[in-house]
Amino acid sequence: MSENTNEMNEQDDMEIEQLETDLTEGELVDGESATEDEAEDADGLGAPTLNAGLEALLLVADVPMSVSELATLTRTPADQVVTALHDLAQEYAVQGRGFDLRELGGGWRFWTRDNCATVVERFVLDGQHARLTQAALETLAVVAYRQPVTRSRISAIRGVNVDGVVRTLVTRGLIEEVGHDNETGAHLYRTTTFFLERLGLKSLEDLPPIAEHLPMPDSVEDIFDLVSN
């Protein structure tokens, strides 16, 4: 009887020892495991993979994120972040996702695809009445193509007072003050990064040529000179 008891005790001791070994090596209950890589990751990247980390950050960001920001937050060299961003953008394009990843406005951000514009428009514009007026759109176009520009210059080009419209555009975050005119001391205005974001442009160089949309004359500069003289 005592021999059987000793054998049982020895077996129990072996099972306990094995359990302690398993726990020490990171093997947990229910098939979960805490590997050394995951333990290190908790103090490093902060996500299962670099791609996953970038996607999580870009998903919650409400403005484009620069490579330096993403590199800092993921604790990853900038060149690796750039490569991962391009890989993700290519992956989304190949898979035909409803969104893509673009570099614009000084950083990277998720955007819905052009072929999904109709359904997105229904969501955004349904019951939406706070749209820019024709006057605001025309004023914004003048600023975009003539910046930096003063209010008096905009008024001369449009032929109407634009003080109220300019205040609206500033409130909307589409234009901003950028110093003063050397001759008159008047405020100068330019478009903002938010303006580029809303139009889906990387820079002002991506703005379409305006001359081809005007009946006459061919040169935009001629128009500005005509209305100011």
CA nearest 140: which of 168, 112, 107? 168
CA nearest 193: which of 169, 172, 173, 210? 173
Q: Check: CB of residue 47 under 8 Å from CB of residue 56.
A: yes
pTM over 0.75: no
- Note whether 42-116 and 134-228 share their fold: yes
Instruction: Give the up-direction half-sphere exposure of residue 57: CA atoms within 13 A in the CB hemisphere.
Output: 25
Cα separation, 119 vs 112, in Å, equals: 10
Question: In the prediction, which pLDDT does 156 show?
Answer: 87
Name which CATH class applies to 134-228.
mainly alpha
Delimit the domains of the chain by residue range.
2-34, 42-116, 134-228
* CATH 1.10.10.10 assigned to 42-116: yes
* Beta-ladder partners of 150: 188
CA nearest 200: which of 86, 94, 114? 114
Please write the tens of the pLDDT for every residue from 139-174: 999 999 989 999 988 988 888 888 889 988 998 889
Find how far residue 132's CA is from the centre of its chain.
23
Please write the tens of the pLDDT for every residue from 169-180: 998 889 999 988
Please write the tens of the pLDDT for every residue from 57-87: 999 887 899 999 999 999 999 999 999 999 9
